[in-house]
Amino acid sequence: MHLTVREVSMPSCFQRPCALSLLTTSLFTLLLTTLLLTTLLLSSSLTLAADAPFRRGDPNNDGAVDISDPIVILNYLFGGIDSISCYDAADVNDDGSLDVADPISLLGYIFIGDVPPPAPGPLECGLDPTDDLLGCFTSICDGAGDPQRIVAGHLLHRIAYGPTPGDVTRVLDLGIPVVIDALLQPEVGDEVGNIPLQALDDQFTSNIPVSQEQFILRPNGSFHYFLGFEEPPADWAQPGFDDSSWSVSTGGFGFGDNDDVTTIGQFFTTDLASIYIRTQFVMNDPAGLPGIYLKMLYDDAFVAYINGVELTRSTQGNGSPHLVGSPPPFNQYSNGSHEAGIPEYFQIPDSLLQPGINTLAIQGHDAPNNADFTLDPSIVSQTFTSTATRDVILTDANLQRFMFIRGIYSNRQLQTVLGEFWENHFTTDEQKLRDLFRALRNRYTHRILGSNTSARMHSSSLEFEEYEFFRDHSLGYFSDLLLFSASSVPMLVYLDSILNFAAEPNENYAREILELHTLGVDNGYTQTDIEEVARALTGWSVTRIPNEMIVPFPDYVTNPVITSHQSWTSTALLELGEDWSYFKGLEEPSPDPAGAATTAWTEPGFDDSSWLVGPTGIGMGDGDDATILTDMQNNYISFYARKNFIIADPQTTDRLELEVDYDDGVVLYLNGIEIWRSQTMADAPAPPPYTAASGGHEAAGRPSLVDLDHFRHLMVAGNNVLAAQIHNTAISSNDASFLPRVTSNVPTPRHIDLNNRQGQWNFRFNPAQHDDGAKSIFAGTPYQLDIPAGRVGADGVLDGIELVDSLTAHPSTAQFICIKLIQKFVSDEISLATISDGTAPIELQGLLADMIAAWFSTPEPGHIGTVMETLLDPIDQSGPFWNPTYMRTKVKTPVEFINTTLRALGAVASSDDLANQMKDMGMDLFQRAEPDGYSEIGSDWIGTTTLLKRINFARRFSSNVDNDYRWEVGDFVALDQNLGAVEVIDVFDEVLFQNTLTEAEKCIVIDYLETDLDGLPWPLDSTVPGYEARIRDMVGFMFSLPRWQFQ
């Protein structure tokens, strides 16, 4: 038999020391080369090395010299494999070539104790002392750093966002088991004593005082308004001013934000600078009430008056007023801009108020060349509670900061890493939640939040509360995490649980809870299971609750709120079916001398004795009328009605409301003043003539609601007159309707207005929307869950709670979650697919089996702390987590890259702009539209564009270009040390890599550091200006190395 033996000679990529005269690559080429190498190496899972340290006799690079090593050499020599990553390690007899003598020598050492392979080896790592032509391109010995420090650095890169300066030493001083045990003990609440973290928490967390807030003048009241193309009369703010000639509309006023009720387009189309608005409100003796406040949303400036006396005016951040003059002239623009965001409160002294009717007048002014304007006032009383404030997050940008604030500064690093993991696992979308809040309207069809910023505050705060729970309970029971997610407002909105009704189940969340949150894709469930899960979760929704009803998790799920936020006891002041006086629209009911329409017929003193009388509803053709106008069709297009009703006290705290269903249009009056008209009558004159035609509208059993509290100043104690004129679309119309009802309503303790900033959004179980039939999930399997029929009321929520417990106890859930944890903390080389086909590495399969056993080892299954302890193996440190094969093999996600980069140098980071940097790298936490979360697989983060973004970020950071994140060279290298290039690189090799850079990598860094832009030698000299700047540039370059992309 003829044997072909390969004799190999491999040129060393670099000779030691680096020959600068040979390294003439320009700066641009070096950066480009680094980028290309990064892309190549990340995509091929190789590690750059040349003449790397190695262990002779260990060519398979597994950290031990054993029988597998001569087999590798023989396979290479005789055609079994094409290459060896470290030829020096295979050159067992150190003769500068690979031949059959090498495996024979190694077999002799292994089995009969012959002479061991020459240094370096077989027990220690080192560089090749022989100047031969062989090379070592990758080796477990890597840069030959202290193995203990390498292991400690590895630990901190996995269970933390990398080490800060000194962390590696602290870990070794304490001992790895002690460190892991401490991190496995979860803590909740503020990190007392962590001053940098607390300062940033406070900076980007706002708060609102906790109080009992009651509206005196609710939002969206009726205002008279005057556009400031000229000065209004001097007494325009006085109580006695006659504003009957002013226009009337609903607050808030503005343009440009898509959040205004009454749009004033002239702010955009003309040089209009101001608007003047007035309304009246009624209150009891102010001396007997808690603090009274003007609650304002405004953009850009205002002056407010109570009963003709200036109350307050808006100011800039430095305290100077936006407007000057008393009063400011109509054509004055605001001296500065102000965005309408979160409502601001201005206390009203009792001395400005009076029992009974009061007048609120406001002049609002725009900023010059501005694109938006807002003026939206209300008046509230506030009684403050013992709970001082409630934290809120104002913006999505501030929300995203906390991934960096906590990641960089928190001492609870494992909880913080796992908090990000669970937030990503149970991913939700702040933007979808924000869109819901922006669209929500109250019972009077007005948006519940007066500004887009308010919607953003609610959505960001709820997402933050969810993230905080995941972080605080990241090491607790999986069932708690799953139940919290299922009942959280962001998830209920994100996956459409709020649209999951018994009559029409929505399967979105049911599918994802099985596919993404528990079992994994196609891992033990069927379409029937999805349908049954959806049925079990029908009725899971959201509501707003007052402060008094707020309880912690899981109480708000196990004992859920089952009623709506709208909860009051109603008494009819004017009931449907009562007699009204009515007049057929064959002519004007109260014409002026010229025969034109007037509103005299709507006034209390009008004599209606000649009118017809009949019960409501009044109309024809709909089958819903008690008084039928049989002669209306083709004879008259309108009719008029009026009714006396009693209000005992206009200052009552009861809520007064008018319900009216109509066909086709209606205009309503209270004591002679128009208070509301349907949109179908919007274009008709005031008052409309009896011949006016309406737009089309059908009385469909969903009456329009009018908040009569806005018109208390028109009411009197005793008899009041409600009047209406009803119009058809055409005289030939075959139907008409008028069905009115007035109620006095006493809110229950459950009630809260949706636009009340107190209280909170909360889980609600709605029994009326729950499918209470029997359900069977995983039918025919050992894990079958049978849910009985007939659970009524709040008991229906048990269907979902039992589902969560069943899913937690399902072995497929244990398998899927444990695989994801291995992917996060150990290796990408495992998945449901590789487990199914048996291609996952054997040691990872074994780890998975151990973790699944740990999942079921606790009194309740799925205790994450126990599972993580099994993964980390802190005592024996013999599991895959500690296997050098898996060290620095996981590509950092963008948030990991940013946090580890900043922590490595002990940076002072304000968190500004970090979210944008993260987005540029391809990650947008809290705002992912897809429900699968961001990948833990390294190849998914590989791309030339995103890698370039990483490099650009790292170089900006290292050079201190941005004040938002800074570090000091002097913390690592002092000028008086006079360190040269090699020594400086060694310092940062230890700081960043625990001294594991290969010789080739060091040569690249030296070349960068000591070569100018023209590729000429430029020695580093601490006595020459620019020393620190060059070190900064070098550190930025080291962050660009492929090695830094891995953890």
pLDDT score of 386: 73
Is residue 964's pLDDT more than 70?
yes
Identify which of 215-224, 478-487, 958-967 has the greatest average pLDDT. Answer: 478-487
What are the Cα distances from residue 764, in Å, to 484, 502, 566, 839, 923? Answer: 13, 15, 13, 46, 32
pLDDT in the model for residue 26 = 41
**Which pLDDT does position 138 carry in this prediction?**
66
SS3 572: strand
Residue 169 has which token pair? 């030493």
Domain 208-389 carries which CATH code?
2.60.120.260
Distance CA 219, CA 743 (A): 20
Residue 551: the pLDDT is 96
Please determine, for residue 355, whether its predicted confidence score (pLDDT) is greater than 70: yes
Mean per-residue pLDDT over the chain, rounded: 91
The residue that leads in pLDDT, 219 or 485, is 485
**Percent of all residues in the chain with a pLDDT value above 70, rounded to a whole number:** 94
Torsion of CA 294, 297, 302, 308, to 10 degrees: -30
45 has pLDDT over 60: no
Domain spans, the chain: 53-141, 208-389, 569-747, 812-883
> For residue 457, what are its two tokens?
């505050």
Which residues contact residue 65 at a Cβ distance below 8 angstroms, ignoring those fewer than 6 apart?
55, 57, 58, 106, 109, 110, 117, 121, 122
**CB of 486 closer than 8 Å to CB of 291:** no
Cα dist from 327 to 253, 259, 305, 404, whole Å: 20, 28, 10, 48
Tell whether the model's pLDDT for residue 53 goes beyond 80: no
- Where does the pLDDT of residue 137 fall: very low under 50, low under 70, confident under 90, or very high at 90 and above? low
| pLDDT the model gives residue 16 | 34
Residue 493 CA to its chain's centroid (Å): 12
Q: Is the pLDDT of residue 190 over 70?
A: yes
Encode pLDDT of 57-94 as tens digits: 998 887 788 898 999 899 999 877 877 878 899 999 99
At 718, the pLDDT band (50, 70, 90 cuts) reads: very high
pLDDT in the model for residue 222: 92
CA dist 790 → 784, 795, 796 (Å): 19, 9, 8
For 176-227, the DSSP string reads HHHHHHHHTS---S--TT-HHHHHHHHHH-EEEEEEEEEEEE-SS-EEEEEE
Amino acid 51: pLDDT: 58
Residue 120 neighbours by CB under 8 Å, 6+ apart = 53, 54, 55, 56, 126, 127, 128, 129, 141
569-747: same fold as 208-389? yes
Query: Is-contact 366 477, C-beta < 8 A?
Result: no
Say if residue 44's pLDDT is above 90: no
Task: Mean pLDDT check: name the lowest of 140-144, 268-272, 806-810.
Answer: 140-144
957 — pLDDT class (breaks 50, 70, 90): very high
Residue 736 to residue 616: CA distance in whole angstroms: 12
Closest CA to 362 of 221, 225, 234: 225
Asked if the 53-141 domain carries CATH number 1.10.1330.10, the reply is yes
Mean pLDDT for the stretch of residues 593-597: 97
In the predicted model, what is the mean pLDDT of residues 733-759? 93
**pLDDT tier, 142 (very low <50, low <70, confident <90, very high otherwise):** low
pLDDT band at 351 (very low <50, low <70, confident <90, very high): very high
- Confidence class for position 15, pLDDT limits 50, 70, 90: very low
Q: Read off the pLDDT band of 39 (50, 70, 90).
A: very low
Q: Which residue has the tokens 């500690």?
A: 882
- CB count within 10 Å of CB 703 equals 16
Q: Does domain 569-747 have CATH number 3.40.50.300?
A: no
Q: Please check the confidence at residue 34 and state whether its pLDDT lies above 70.
A: no
Residue 8 in this model has a pLDDT that exceeds 50 = no
Contact indicator for 822, 884 with CB cutoff of 8 Å: no
468-505 pLDDT per residue, tens: 999 999 999 999 999 999 999 999 999 999 999 999 99
